[in-house]
Structure 1
Amino acid sequence: MPRFIGSLAIFGLLLGMMIGRLTEPEPTRLERIEVAEGGLVLWFNRTPRQTAEHRDGALAFVFEARAQSAQGRLQMAGRPVNWRLQMTPAGAVLHFVAMRPLKGEWQGAWVDGQWRLSIDLHEG
């Protein structure tokens, strides 16, 4: 009898784990990055949690999402701004570095089934 109850418990545990994996929500992913005048447009499959902070003299946005590392350059009022996306244990970190201090604002909205996050930069 104890073996039977033990095997039922193990079966129930395994069944619960399989159901949990099936109902687990899809992780948030950064699908693509578009360079816009004075900022970037990021496209996600779901709404990510995000924060903005100043790190090491640069403006950084932290997203709880998975992403491929990327980097590039954009123009803000005729001046170059370098950006770099890196994965960290906290999530995806997007750094903006320019010759002058930067401030940024973001706006998000659902567009065609994807979360569109627009980051606008200006001198701070």
Structure 2
Amino acid sequence: MLKLNTKSFTLFAALSGFLTVILGAFAAHGLKGSLSSYELDIWKTAVLYQFVHTIVILQVSQMKTSTLLIRSQLWFSVGILLFSGSLYLLAVTGVTKLGMFTPLGGICFLLGWIYLIVQVVKNK
């Protein structure tokens, strides 16, 4: 069973960061001729949100561990998978129904930020 702790989220963030570079380069070089500018914009949005939240997970991993911070990292991670993942798939497949997962990922990002805010306010 996967144990959710700082090390597991640091590993997730390291893998996510690695993939972000690959996915960003793939769009710039491999997808440039095969996707419309609209689809490339969707892809770029996915890369941006994945990258930003990957950095946040790494930063939170450096803080003193708490249940609130673990929950924050969990929600950020699920947000990356749902938000960015659905946008990547939408961009390359054109299946618009995948877009229904994007707002769920956004909600996950918001939950991650809420848990982080509560932790910061709680630690005076």
Q: Tell me, yes or no, whether TM beats 0.5.
A: no
Q: What is the TM-score normalised by the length of structure 2?
A: 0.26
More helix by share: 2
For normalisation by structure 1, the TM-score amounts to 0.26
Q: Larger relative contact order (C-alpha < 8 A, sep ≥ 6)?
A: 2
More strand by share: 1
